[in-house]
Amino acid sequence: MPEQRITITIDEKGQITAKTAGFKGEACLDELQSLLEDLGTIHEVKKTDAYYQQNAIKVTQKQTLGRT
Amino acid sequence: MSAVVKTVTPFTQRDLLLEALDELGVVYHEKGNAIMTERVDDYGAQRFIYEQGAYRFQHDSSPWRKLNFKEWKTVSAFLGAVEKAYHQAYERLQQRLAEEERRLLEEERKRFVEQQKQVVIQRAKKQGYNIKEIRKGNKIQLQLVRTTY
């Protein structure tokens, strides 16, 4: 049975990189949008060779660290 | 006639002054708003009195009076030593505060990253993914897998 995979990497500053596999067309972006909504502003979208099979997207966090 | 006058650094921080006296090996005890030292002159123990926001040194003002007190015979020499030790204690305090600031920022950073992770995990679970968390150095990797039918 086909699988859909998303690999999400969060670095020490909170920047998120997400890679998808097993999605068709724009569905990967929709899925990432729902997962990463409000967690950061997307600043880079890379369409890989197998665009309809695999996409990579980078998100930077829009929140700044501050003490309350 | 003209002159240049320089004052001793005002000892505004009690804890730093006590730390400086400890560093110099000066025996003292506190009495009300005064820090009584073991230096004794005709008027009794020489002391630091807290007034107008700082500790000021009270002593017999006789100019010829010299005390055999460790290596500081004159009041001027003693206060010079206290001033130097006070400055060093102040520097140490600044370092401690900077370190504490760094520690707090680091804790806040970790809390923020953990919060990011938890949000992603909760959303992924709701969307039917199995989740595996892997640590790669300073980074967190979440592997989300979902079977489609």
Interface confidence (ipTM) of the complex: 0.74
Same domain, B80 and B38: yes
How far apart are the C-alpha atoms of B65 and A34, rounded to whole Å?
83
Residue B54 lies in a domain: yes
Q: Which 117-136 residues of chain B touch chain A by CB within 8 A?
A: 117, 119-120, 123-124, 127, 129, 136
What is the least distance, in Å, from the CA of A30 to any CA of chain B? 12
Same domain, B51 and B74: yes
Residue B2 lies in a domain: no
Q: Which 11-50 residues of chain A touch chain B by CB within 8 A?
A: 11-14, 16, 22, 31, 34-36, 39
Segment B63-88, tens digit of pLDDT: 545 555 566 678 888 899 999 999 99
Q: What is the pLDDT along chain B (149 residues), one digit of tens a residue?
A: 566 666 777 899 999 999 999 999 999 999 999 999 988 877 788 899 998 889 999 887 665 455 555 666 788 888 999 999 999 999 999 999 999 999 999 999 999 999 999 999 999 999 999 999 999 998 999 999 999 87
Q: CB pairs below 8 Å between A and B: how many?
A: 77
For chain A, report the end-to-end CA distance as a whole number of angstroms. 48
How far apart are the C-alpha atoms of B84 and B22, rounded to whole Å?
13
H helices of B10-126, in order, are 14-24, 75-126
**Residue in A6, A9, A15, A43 with CA at minimum distance from that of residue B127:** A6
**Hey, what amino acid is at B71?**
E
Same domain, B26 and B85: yes
Burial class (CB in 10 A: 0-12, 13-18, 19+), B48: buried
Q: Which domain range does residue B112 map to?
A: 100-145
